[in-house]
Amino acid sequence: MFGGRFNRPGNAALYLAADPVTALAEYAQGALIAPPGTLVAYQMDIDRVAELDAAQFADASCDWKFLARTTRQTPPSWLIADRLIAAGRRGLLYPSVRHPGGTNLVVFLANLPSGDQIHPHDPHATLPRDQSSWPPSP
């Protein structure tokens, strides 16, 4: 609805972390107490993923929310993603802002061909299968 660090509003993206500690830090977004949530591991087979190292990430680590929502400026991270999406990249590995040393992956869903696979890892079928499994929103 509001976009993310590497996706403008209307451009669907899936944000993942390489490990549970990074996932929790990203999910909490600096809050002392994060709202309830479920961590899900994914199995994936995708290619054409770009990677930003710490030095390249300097522009992308901007306060994208402030720029996009308050000043109505285009965050540099969106411009990076625009170039990657136009070049046919399917995802981007980048350093975590919330967990130093952690790595995140954003997958640009519109760029995934039918051969690329992303599935929740749920060997015991314990994850909800549809919205009827979830509690109603307040």
Per-residue pLDDT of 64-106, as tens digits, reads 889 998 999 999 999 999 999 999 999 999 999 899 999 999 9
- Domain assignment of residue 4, given as a range: 1-28+56-115
Q: Does a structural domain hold residue 16?
A: yes
* pTM of the predicted model as reported, rounded to 2 decimal places: 0.85
Q: Does a structural domain hold residue 49?
A: no
Q: Does a structural domain hold residue 2?
A: yes
Q: Does a structural domain hold residue 126?
A: no
Q: Does a structural domain hold residue 125?
A: no
Instruction: Report whether pLDDT(134) > 70.
Output: no
- Span 31-53, average pLDDT: 88
Instruction: Report whether pLDDT(109) > 70.
Output: yes
Q: What's the chain's average pLDDT?
A: 88
Q: Does a structural domain hold residue 91?
A: yes
Cα separation values, 55 from 71, 74, 111, Å: 25, 21, 26
Cα separation values, 134 from 12, 40, 119, 128, 138, Å: 22, 15, 19, 7, 12
89 CB contacts (<8 Å, ≥6 apart)? 48, 49, 50, 108, 111
Question: What whole-number distance in Å separates Cα of residue 47 and Cα of residue 57?
Answer: 21
Q: Does a structural domain hold residue 33?
A: no
